């Protein structure tokens, strides 16, 4: 699973997820992409599950690019712990995804296969998504 190799600060504030994605909203590397249309924290585990769903559906061939990285630590307190005594330990890592962000890109496969694989990947993610193609950024089905 993805997680940063080294970090400057162990724990981070939650922050806000207002607005749309400012960068990474166009298909840049591959031919088709999976674009988020709602905001969410996507965990490293969800990203890995989605990646596996894509590569397994391709069986052989095809190339996958992951356009998000979980660089935000999320902390949690142990079960049955009283409130107070500081912030909990780092539990997992998330990527902050805002609407418009491209999550995955694929190339080297046909449109149908790419669309099926990206829709399977979408099932593993906590965001609403749409499949788009490189040609004009429109939905691949159009």
Partner 1 sequence: MDTMTIDVFTRDVLGKKVETLRRKGITPLHLYGKGMSSRSLQADGSTLIKLISQVGHHIPVYLKLDGGKERELAFVREIQRHPVTNRILHADFYRVDVRQSIKGEVPITLVGEAPAVQVHRGTLIQNLHRISVECLPMDMPERIEVDISILVELNQSLRVSDLTLGPGITITSDLEEVIVRVSPPRAELPTAERPGTVQEEQEKQ
**What is the binding site for partner 1 (CB under 8 A)?**
20-22, 25-26, 31, 35, 37, 45, 48-49, 52-53, 55-56, 58-63, 99-101, 107-109, 132, 134, 136-138
Q: Which residues are registered as beta bridge partners of 130?
A: 35
Query: At 8, which helix (H) or strand (E)?
Result: none
Q: How far is the CB of 86 from partner 1 (least distance, A)?
A: 26
Q: How far is the CB of 61 from partner 1 (least distance, A)?
A: 4
Q: How far is the CB of 66 from partner 1 (least distance, A)?
A: 16
**Closer CB to partner 1, 8 or 60, in the complex:** 60
**Closer CB to partner 1, 57 or 115, in the complex:** 57
CB 103 within 8 A of CB 67: yes
What three-state secondary structure class fits 58?
Answer: helix
Please state, in angstroms and rounded to a whole number, the distance separating the CA atoms of residues 106 and 64: 5
**Closer CB to partner 1, 61 or 84, in the complex:** 61
Q: Residue 22 phi/psi, 5° resolution?
A: -90, -25
Residue closest to 128 by CA, chosen among 97, 93, 92, 94: 97
Q: What angle do CA 127, 97, 7 make, to 5 degrees?
A: 135
**Closer CB to partner 1, 26 or 84, in the complex:** 26
Q: How far is the CB of 13 from partner 1 (least distance, A)?
A: 24
**Closer CB to partner 1, 1 or 88, in the complex:** 1
Q: How far is the CB of 138 from partner 1 (least distance, A)?
A: 7
What three-state secondary structure class fits 68?
Answer: coil
């Amino acid at each position: 699973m993805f997680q940063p190799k080294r970090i400057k600060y162990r724990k981070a504030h939650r922050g806000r997820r207002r607005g749309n994605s400012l960068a990474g909203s166009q298909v840049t590397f591959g031919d088709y992409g999976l674009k988020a249309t709602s905001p969410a924290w996507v965990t490293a585990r969800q990203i890995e599950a989605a990646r596996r769903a894509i590569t397994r559906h391709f069986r052989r061939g095809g190339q996958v690019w992951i356009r998000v990285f979980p660089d935000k630590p999320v902390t949690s307190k142990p079960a049955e712990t009283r409130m107070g005594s500081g912030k909990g330990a780092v539990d997992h890592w998330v990527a902050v995804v805002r609407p418009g962000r491209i999550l995955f890109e694929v190339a080297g496969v046909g449109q149908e296969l790419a669309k099926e694989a990206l829709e399977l990947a979408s099932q593993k993610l906590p965001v609403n998504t749409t499949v788009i193609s490189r040609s004009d950024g429109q939905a691949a089905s159009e």
